[in-house]
Structure 1
Amino acid sequence: MKKVLLLVLLILSTNLAFAQYIDSLQVNEMKKVQWLAGKWEGEGWMMFGPEEKHTFSQTETVTSKLNGLLLAIEGLGTVDESKIIHNAFAVLSFDSENQRFVMRAHKADGAFTEADALVDDNGDFIWGFNHPYAGELRFTIRQNDKGQWYEIGEVSSDNGNSWFQNFELLLNKVE
């Protein structure tokens, strides 16, 4: 009986040690993007054609969940404070098994994507996906010297060989 109990304790302690390794990896990777947590407000622009630049107001509410293992991201973009042009919700996490960030993003129209994401050597958070009509989309978010959220969006119609900026956002942390 003592041998069985000892074996059970050994198995449990091994599993707990492995789980702590996974959690610490997730926590360490997610720390790279924790600066996003908070409420952000500001202005941006997007292009719908070569010379069609449209400005908008944007709010991003980012909440850290499960002790930092997830970020819940809610984005709302408006024109003239009343017309909603962007309404999205995303969950960002780190997949320890595959050693990568995963972002599942949903829009109010029912569209969703599981986006590729990474944090580069400069600390920039880069995420993107392929759009069936627009091509490859890439967004780069960084914290600038003033502590602001600075984001650009780019599109590529040639599999990432060249990029055209079609989006820019500058947000201030308000909470």
Structure 2
Amino acid sequence: MHRTGLMGAVVMSVATILGAGAAQAQAPQPQVQAAQRAAMAKLSRMQGVWVGQASGVNPDMSRYSVTQTERIGPMLDGALLVIEGRGYRADGSTGFNAFAVVSYDPEAAKYEIRSYAQGYAGTFELKPTDTGYVWEVPAGPGVMRFTADITDTTYHEVGDFVMPGMAPMRSFEMTLTRRGDTDWPAANAVDPAP
């Protein structure tokens, strides 16, 4: 009985410690959040609704062309940037759909993009530039490098397969026009009222 009581006390102590740690982990971190928002402000030009043309090369080397749409908005009071891209075929069906979340880690002083597309997912470093960004996805002996230039009205992004000793091979390009603002994804939050 004494041993059971001791084990119970140990379990309760561990649960209390873990519970306190979890509560501490959930506590607001105003300095971290302020640093995240400040860093994400560098990418605010991306926000909005964009529409235009995109084209590229399929894995079988055939070419495709779609009407590309992007909706990009802030989440968590500007600490994240959420992106959904859809490419529509001529018949109106969805030929491409991707989702991504961009964030900033103040401790590492790095941006990252968590991307989901065509059955693949991964987390990659994103590097803001004066006019947009660059990010890379490992691809065999090379990388797929995505480079964007964004103005107040135009969003241009290219994807190049880059391998040492070879000229870059373009496999994707989109040129979009800004259509307006969006309140996505923060809009229409669940109302807690019964």
- The TM tier, using the shorter chain, reads 0.7 to 0.9
Offset from partner CA, 1:39-83 (integer Å, 9 cap, x none): 11110111248x854321101111111111101100111211423
**Cα separation, 2, equivalents of 1:153 and 1:37:** 20
Residue 70 of structure 1 contacts residue 92 of structure 1 at CA under 8 Å; is this kept in 2?
A: yes
Give a deviation string over 1:4-28, Cα, whole Å, max 9, x none. xxxxxxxxxxx98xx4432332122
Q: Give structure 1 regions of 4+ aligned residues with deviation exceeding 6 angstroms.
A: none
Corresponding position of 1:9: none
Matches within 5 A, 1:120-135: 120=129, 122-132=130-140, 135=142
* Cα distance per residue 1:106-132 (max 9 Å; x no partner): 1253x2011221112x23211121134
> Matched residue pairs, number?
154
Aligned partner of 2:134: which letter? I
Q: Does 1:106 align with 2:111?
A: no
In the alignment, the residues of structure 1 paired with residue 168 and residue 132 of structure 2 have an alpha-carbon distance, to the nearest angstrom, of 17
Aligned to 2:127: 118
Match of 1:174 in 2: 179
Percent sequence identity is 24
CA displacement, residues 110-160 of structure 1 (integer Å, 9 cap, x when unaligned): x2011221112x23211121134x84111111114x6211111111133x8
Alignment of 1:61-72 (within 5 A): 61-72=71-82
Q: Contact 1:36 / 1:62 at 8 angstroms: preserved in 2? A: yes
SS across alignment from 2:45: helix
Aligned partner of 1:163 among 156, 160, 168: 168
Aligned residue identity for 1:154: D
Alignment of 1:67-82 (within 5 A): 67-82=77-92
- Opposite residue 127 of structure 1, the aligned amino acid is W
SS of equivalent to 1:98: coil
Larger radius of gyration: 2
Alignment partner of 1:47 is 2:60: no
For residues 109 and 30 of structure 2, the distance between their equivalents in structure 1, rounded to whole angstroms, comes to 16
Structure 2, unmatched stretches of 5+, are: 1-26, 181-194
Match in the other structure for 2:18: none
1:105 to partner: Cα distance: 0.7
| Alpha-carbon contact 1:57-1:81 (below 8 Å) kept | no
- CA contact 1:32–1:123 (8 Å) conserved in 2: no
TM superposition score normalised by structure 2: 0.70
